[in-house]
Structure 1
Amino acid sequence: MNAPTFDINRRGFLGSAGALVLSFTIPQEGFAQSAEGSDGSPEKAPELQGDLSSTPSLDAWIRIDADGSITVFTGKAELGQGTKTSLRQVAAEELEVEPGTINLITADTGRTPDEGYTAGSMTMPNSGTAIRYAAAQVRQILIQQASAKLGVPVEQLKADGGKVLGPNGATLSYGEIVSNDLLHVDADPMTKIKPPGNYRAIGKPFARVDIPAKVTGGEAYVQDMRPEGMVHARVVRPPSYSARLTDLDETTAKGMPGVISIIRDGDFLAVVAEQEFQAIQAMRVLERAARWQEQQGLPDQTDLPTFLQSAVTEVGVVNSAGAETVKGAKTLKAQFTRPYQMHGSIGPSAAMAKMEGDQLTVWTHTQGVYPDRGAIAEMLGMEEDKVRCIHTEGSGCYGHNGADDAAGDAALIATKLPGRAIRVQWMREQEHLWEPYGPGMLTRVEAVLDDEGKIVNWHYDLWSNNHSSRPGSAGALLAGRLMQKHFQPDAQKLKISPSGNGDRNAIPLYDIPNQRVNWHFIPDMPVRASAMRALGAYCNVFSLESFMDELADAAGADPVEFRLRHLSDKRAIKVIETVADKFGWNSDPMPEGRGRGFAFAKYKNHASYLAIALEAEVDRVSGEIRISNVVAAVDCGEAVAPDNIVNQTQGGILQSLSWTLYEEVHFNRTRITSADWSAYPILRFSAVPDRIDVHVVDNPGLPYLGVAEAAQGPTSGAIGNAVRRAAGKRIYDLPFSRERMRDALKA
């Protein structure tokens, strides 16, 4: 990652405000030169922790003003996962203050570090770790400065409540210690953090700071913003991906009350009005007045596996270990599919933008303010430092929905009407039809069991698009694609990495000596697709964990015992045993139509461990599936905010339950047809399980693993396994709709 870019005005602000600008430099190469290995050769210099490695300047993370107020900066965004609370806790722990006293600034290209996207459950591992180590070093510097001012040895001083305390009542507040010339320091990788036994904030319950406005009707989301002088814009979307605007009569719309302007740039069409409903009315008139040329370009939805196999351009080897083939007692095979699925944000995407002079400011619920800034700047032909993107929470999304596109819409319109704050709000059908979907997938697995019921050979193949087309370039934005310049989407390339993409969690964590895992890559996405929570892990874990139950049955083993038979990772074993104990897992017969299901995964194979058990009930007449009595255990390393971990895990379980039982994007050969909730049903409150118990397996002192996306895959696998027990039939194709369940029961 490149060195951080900071707004010039912020630098000037820091230099003029009587703040702690920690500024002496510790040369990193000094560590390598001073340390020697056992053979006398220089040891590798210690690495900076988390995102300090890309943004080492402490003042990029921590600011203390002369009045003692503390501001913490993060490049990560609050998406409803509790970031604004948990990051305050880690900073407060090391600064020895109460979390509520800290002002936290989240993703803003004018103020915060560039931490890329808020994605992959990496906020705590990357930003939380950086902030914690930065805060620890700031505390140590404050104590050192207080030592010099008081003439008291460092060992006799301690930080507490925003002050440094010494013997005989000697006290200096943080504000009294700071000065403009207190230097400017890079992070020291040798900084020591507090041991778990001394924690006062980490692991303790704190009220979520983002919740009050959301439950009291306050200004919680970008959708709620209403600054003085703001005007309203609505875009007119083409009826399909390939449609081109051939004719438009603007006369009627232009003459409607409140209409300020009709914006047309190539196939991009929008209307701006003084009031929101005036913009909606004019948008509908423009929709009827527009003429579009369309063509077929979508695959046959009823035979998605055939399309996926026919569109492959290359095959990537995700894992290859041991022998290619091994003989055994039994060989099993299975095929699974996942359809295209949408984020289904309850609040359609929105953004606000304002052009003042040569400066453009965009308020957006993007998950990557810096990448979005780059795409917008390219689209408009502006220098990046003339565009500022400020993250403002959006009403619902984990992944790449329409947030970046709405920001692009608002930015383009704002350049046409400088001096006015332009609010763009998508309509429900626009969100459903134009957001990037989670990619469809096909997986096939084959495994061999030996005479002792152990897996000795494993072949896994997956067919999938790339799972991220985030900005990116201007071609990643709808406005960029539709405007006269017609920016092209970024070319998609096969990338296999430890974090995974479509291949995320394709490698089983189980101890299997001989493995082949291949990704059959599809570069051209006929349906607009991008990052949706957990990426390929949702389908891959569903496939692997469903198949593990099939293998357990073939081996004549209990599903939980069979998994433990193939695991040596002690932390994996602990979460499995915790769930089995708390759920009361057993093999006792259940009433007809009911079944138990179990599943496990370690997210990305290097993040959080999660095991889950649940019960399913299948109505053999209607095909309805009801999930109840859910128990999960999660190990995400050190638990900073246990309540947040429980909340995120419960949310992930419910999201996966919705995907698994209901969600599928429908389309014909020309258009997407899932335009509303009737055509794209999701989980309703009436279908929420009666109880979802989440047990946090805490590991104080261990690295943060991130938790938000750990539950999606295991939940789908557990549901599939429970339905198999309840119905006596396994469903291999997601979602488990009533129609699909009825068909399986008849087969």
Structure 2
Amino acid sequence: MPASLMRSRMRHDARFAGEDMTVDAPPPPLADAPLMRDWIEVSPTDGVTFLSGRVELGQGNSTALLMMVADELGVSPDAVALKTARTDRTPNEGFTAGSMSISFGGQALRWAASALLVQMLDAAGERLGRPPRDLRVEDGEILRNGVSTGLKLLDFASAADLSCRVADLAKPKAEGDRWKTFRDIPRIDLKERLVGTPFVHDMTAPHMLHGAPVHPPSMHSALDSLDLDALRARPGVVEVVRDGSFVGVVANAPLAAARAAEWAAKSGTWQATLVEEIDPVEFIAASTADAQTIVETGNVNRNIGRWYETTVTRPFIFHGSIGPAAAVAVWDGDEATVWTHSQGVFQLRKAIAVALRTVEEKLSVIHVPGAGCYGHNGADDVAFDAVLMARAVPGRHVKVVWSRRDEFRAAPMGAAMATTVRGLLGPDNDLTAIDVMVNSAPHTSRPGAGGTPNLRAAAYLENPIQPARSADVPVARGGGADRNAAPTYKVGSIRVQRRLVHDLPYRTSALRSLGAYNNVIAIESLMDDIAHDLGVSPLDFRLQHVADQRSRDVLQRIEVKTRKAREVPLPEGAGWGLGFARYKGTGGYCAVMVRLEVDGDVRVTDAFAFADVGEAVSPEGVKNQVEGGMLQSISWTLKEAVQVDGISTTVESWTDYPILRFSEAPRVSVELVERPGAFPLGAGEISQGPTGAAVCNAVRVALGIRVCDLPITRDAIIAAANA
């Protein structure tokens, strides 16, 4: 690795990832949104509202963000409001991704709240004739030397000068002064999600119309012919939009739109522009394209000892949200408003503007919750579909909800991968070198990446804009295919190389943890294989190779947590497995142990995790995130694989894409290593890799064979046994 690249990565790690960053350092979002008014609104009718560019994807971050604000102010969380992710008002914080909502967005809000608190206490001190240092706040009430003044803090919000720079005023609370008013609160969005109508799918408007796209049969099919007059004559159809190979049906009811679009898909004729059929996983694994060196410390080939090697492959996988992508759009003259569950409203606005060849100022994009999100799903694509269809019926709101078939055939997928890890065991049974080669499709094609819209329909238009060739996620942002390919362990020489495989007939982009899931499984599989060969405990072998106390803590605590359960004799075909990693090498730490049984199929019965995410703003929220990641990872590892026919996916329903059922969910226990005052490291993606690794290692213990081709189905086990 060139020294300049290594230095660049080190600068990133310290500046953005939290390894050396402290709560005293100005959060990065303040660089682009430095003023208090970028983060705060004060209104006589609505009170104090804080503004965040982060979106609520079901992970509960809106609750945690509000908690940070309320804690800094010393008020109850219901005393202030939070407005999130809309291009007409909130700051542009990029995509809500990478487990950075609290680390970046939450810290920025805490600083903004601190700046507001300084100004409010100044105003209160002036009224009382006392210096602000004599005042403090308890449950929203201003105290002087511990005695109530009868004044409420937020009554002084109107005195604040919101044109001031946050960093000039903010003095965030020290660790010992935090969480005095409350420690945790129920999810602020949960009741509405359970019994209300908060989702974009639920939106209504007077005279609303409903749209459905007619997706081509593959990414590389062009519309040859379609009887548009016959399509317009279908029951309930109000308008038909055709622009190049994009076809959208606007109808007076959702069912009418869906049926008309289905008729059009079957009646139209399509010409394939790419016809070569391939096995994508084999194609990726066999790639001999030039490799890029991502990390190189020492020389992996200048060592003495015994080499061990393993290769782990995963297929394409879906996001698999419980509901499909949806959006609402309306045009007023030459301006449009879009309601979307996109991860990045500003980036989507820019992408739509480029695709329509208009200016961003004519578009407003507002986030509304969807059916959960694990990365770049179909939310951006369906938003552009809605914009194109609504343009044909100006003044009318058009709601577009993809069908399940649309979701499976058109949305971006998680990239297929093959990760090969070689480890060199020295004479003293220490790892002296690790050599990693990652072959993978790119892990990002988000809107705007590479300077192109990267919206599916944009490539179909009469004047199309094809997606740029993805360079993958930069190393400075944690990497994509190479994420977590550098092991968490202390090893003398490390080399990580990456081969990006392009020109596949499938669309891939960001999916929870990106390449970290497969890379951690490969590294952790190798660690277990070496430990078993040496006849030592997999835990002890890991502890032998960790250099920092925080890694040691989660590993030792998971051992203690599961010790009693592991003392129970195992039936034949059962096993325990361990997995561990620090996400991105700079984020949260997570150690996972699972117990499973194999009787033809694999069933995980119990899963335990210990996590260290620095300061856990909402401990229950963090536990929920880790638990959700564990369950999803188990599903990926045991069940999920996109079926393809060489040029397109063939999945049309859940029958074709099994996922973990409620009846198959294991007992799950998650505990945290509490570190109050430490920099928050994020929790959303830390358990994907360790859980998958724990499952793979437990299967090896249960069966005595290593299954390297995911998912670990009955057929995969048979193939591994016969290899």
TM over 0.5: yes
For residues 555 and 223 of structure 2, what CA distance do their matches in structure 1 show?
56
Matched, 1:531 2:531: no
Match for residue 549 of structure 2? 570
Deviation at 1:465, TM superposition (A): 2.3
Q: Quick one: which amino acid aligns to residue 336 of structure 1? A: V
Match for residue 657 of structure 1? 634
Deviation at 1:175, TM superposition (A): 5.2
User: Is the alpha carbon distance of 1:519 and 1:670 closer, same or farther for their aligned partners in structure 2, counting shifts above 3 Å?
Assistant: closer
User: Is the alpha carbon distance of 1:169 and 1:101 closer, same or farther for their aligned partners in structure 2, counting shifts above 3 Å?
Assistant: closer
Contact 1:98 1:201 in 2 (8 A): no
Matched, 1:209 2:209: no
Contact 1:203 1:641 in 2 (8 A): no
Match for residue 200 of structure 1? 179
Deviation at 1:91, TM superposition (A): 0.1
Match for residue 221 of structure 1? 199
Deviation at 1:725, TM superposition (A): 0.4
Contact 1:319 1:516 in 2 (8 A): yes
User: Is the alpha carbon distance of 1:698 and 1:203 closer, same or farther for their aligned partners in structure 2, counting shifts above 3 Å?
Assistant: farther
For residues 373 and 637 of structure 2, what CA distance do their matches in structure 1 show?
18
For residues 117 and 298 of structure 1, what CA distance do their matches in structure 2 show?
35
Could you tell which deviates more after superposition, 549-558 or 363-372? 549-558
What secondary structure, in the 3-state scheme, does the structure 1 residue paired with 2:676 have?
Answer: coil
Q: Quick one: which amino acid aligns to residue 587 of structure 2? A: A
Alignment of 1:106-505 (within 5 A): 106-166=84-144, 170-174=149-153, 176-179=155-158, 182=161, 184-188=163-167, 191-200=170-179, 204-216=183-195, 218-297=196-275, 299-301=277-279, 304-310=281-287, 312=289, 314-472=290-448, 473-493=451-471, 495-497=474-476, 499-505=478-484
Deviation at 1:252, TM superposition (A): 2.8
Pick the aligned partner of 1:611 from 582, 591, 604: 591
What secondary structure, in the 3-state scheme, does the structure 1 residue paired with 2:300 have?
Answer: coil
User: Is the alpha carbon distance of 1:176 and 1:343 closer, same or farther for their aligned partners in structure 2, counting shifts above 3 Å?
Assistant: closer
Structure 1: segments with no counterpart, 5+ residues: 1-45
Contact 2:49 2:83 in 1 (8 A): yes
Contact 1:237 1:268 in 2 (8 A): yes
Matched, 1:92 2:70: yes
What secondary structure, in the 3-state scheme, does the structure 2 residue paired with 1:682 have?
Answer: coil
Matched, 1:509 2:467: no
Q: Deviations over 1:634-667 (max 9, x none)?
A: 0000011011111111100000011100111111
Contact 1:318 1:507 in 2 (8 A): no
What secondary structure, in the 3-state scheme, does the structure 2 residue paired with 1:48 have?
Answer: coil
Q: Deviations over 1:426-457 (max 9, x none)?
A: 01111001111111111111111123211011
Contact 2:424 2:434 in 1 (8 A): yes
Q: Quick one: which amino acid aligns to residue 626 of structure 2? A: T
Q: TM-score under structure 1 normalisation?
A: 0.90
Contact 1:412 1:479 in 2 (8 A): no
User: Is the alpha carbon distance of 1:297 and 1:344 closer, same or farther for their aligned partners in structure 2, counting shifts above 3 Å?
Assistant: farther
Could you tell which deviates more after superposition, 326-335 or 656-665? 326-335
Could you tell which deviates more after superposition, 49-58 or 206-215? 49-58
Deviation at 1:195, TM superposition (A): 2.7
Deviation at 1:315, TM superposition (A): 1.8
Match for residue 19 of structure 1? none
Match for residue 40 of structure 1? none
User: Is the alpha carbon distance of 1:95 and 1:181 closer, same or farther for their aligned partners in structure 2, counting shifts above 3 Å?
Assistant: closer
Match for residue 597 of structure 1? 577
Q: Deviations over 1:697-747 (max 9, x none)?
A: 110000110001000000110000000000111101111112112333455
Could you tell which deviates more after superposition, 729-738 or 65-74? 65-74
Q: Quick one: which amino acid aligns to residue 186 of structure 2? A: A
Matched, 1:519 2:498: yes
What secondary structure, in the 3-state scheme, does the structure 1 residue paired with 2:496 have?
Answer: strand
What secondary structure, in the 3-state scheme, does the structure 2 residue paired with 1:678 have?
Answer: helix
Deviation at 1:170, TM superposition (A): 3.6
Match for residue 7 of structure 2? none
Contact 1:296 1:669 in 2 (8 A): no
User: Is the alpha carbon distance of 1:743 and 1:203 closer, same or farther for their aligned partners in structure 2, counting shifts above 3 Å?
Assistant: farther
Structure 2: segments with no counterpart, 5+ residues: 1-23
Q: Percent identity?
A: 37
Match for residue 637 of structure 1? 614
Pick the aligned partner of 2:48 from 58, 70, 77: 70
Q: Deviations over 1:229-278 (max 9, x none)?
A: 21100111111111111111123332233221011111000111111112
What secondary structure, in the 3-state scheme, does the structure 1 residue paired with 2:708 have?
Answer: coil
Match for residue 535 of structure 2? 556
For residues 445 and 181 of structure 1, what CA distance do their matches in structure 2 show?
57
Q: Deviations over 1:125-162 (max 9, x none)?
A: 01001001111121111101221233212122223444
Could you tell which deviates more after superposition, 254-263 or 383-392? 254-263
Q: Quick one: which amino acid aligns to residue 519 of structure 1? A: R
For residues 296 and 447 of structure 1, what CA distance do their matches in structure 2 show?
40
For residues 292 and 555 of structure 1, what CA distance do their matches in structure 2 show?
59
For residues 440 and 142 of structure 1, what CA distance do their matches in structure 2 show?
54
What secondary structure, in the 3-state scheme, does the structure 2 residue paired with 1:192 have?
Answer: coil
Q: Quick one: which amino acid aligns to residue 492 of structure 2? A: P
Q: Quick one: which amino acid aligns to residue 598 of structure 1? A: L
Q: Deviations over 1:360-407 (max 9, x none)?
A: 110001000000000011111221011011011111221011000000
Match for residue 14 of structure 2? none
Match for residue 27 of structure 1? none
For residues 385 and 136 of structure 1, what CA distance do their matches in structure 2 show?
32
Q: Quick one: which amino acid aligns to residue 655 of structure 1? A: Q
Deviation at 1:189, TM superposition (A): 6.0
Deviation at 1:48, TM superposition (A): 2.0
For residues 580 and 207 of structure 2, what CA distance do their matches in structure 1 show?
53
Contact 1:493 1:523 in 2 (8 A): no
What secondary structure, in the 3-state scheme, does the structure 1 residue paired with 2:557 have?
Answer: helix
Q: Quick one: which amino acid aligns to residue 348 of structure 2? A: D
Contact 1:456 1:514 in 2 (8 A): yes
User: Is the alpha carbon distance of 1:110 and 1:410 closer, same or farther for their aligned partners in structure 2, counting shifts above 3 Å?
Assistant: same
User: Is the alpha carbon distance of 1:381 and 1:86 closer, same or farther for their aligned partners in structure 2, counting shifts above 3 Å?
Assistant: same
Contact 1:89 1:202 in 2 (8 A): no
Matched, 1:700 2:680: no
For residues 82 and 131 of structure 2, what CA distance do their matches in structure 1 show?
32
User: Is the alpha carbon distance of 1:171 and 1:358 closer, same or farther for their aligned partners in structure 2, counting shifts above 3 Å?
Assistant: farther
Q: Deviations over 1:461-484 (max 9, x none)?
A: 111122110001554111211111
Q: Deviations over 1:547-573 (max 9, x none)?
A: 110111222210000000001110010
Q: Deviations over 1:585-622 (max 9, x none)?
A: 76886321011100100000100000011111111xxx
Match for residue 6 of structure 1? none
Q: How many residues align?
A: 695
> How big is the alpha-carbon RMSD for the aligned residues of Structure 1 and Structure 2?
2.0
Match for residue 680 of structure 1? 657
For residues 538 and 182 of structure 2, what CA distance do their matches in structure 1 show?
33
Q: Quick one: which amino acid aligns to residue 618 of structure 2? A: A
Contact 2:436 2:496 in 1 (8 A): yes
Could you tell which deviates more after superposition, 107-116 or 665-674? 665-674
Contact 2:333 2:394 in 1 (8 A): yes
Contact 1:232 1:423 in 2 (8 A): yes
Contact 2:85 2:345 in 1 (8 A): yes
For residues 128 and 294 of structure 1, what CA distance do their matches in structure 2 show?
47
User: Is the alpha carbon distance of 1:323 and 1:135 closer, same or farther for their aligned partners in structure 2, counting shifts above 3 Å?
Assistant: same
Deviation at 1:577, TM superposition (A): 0.7
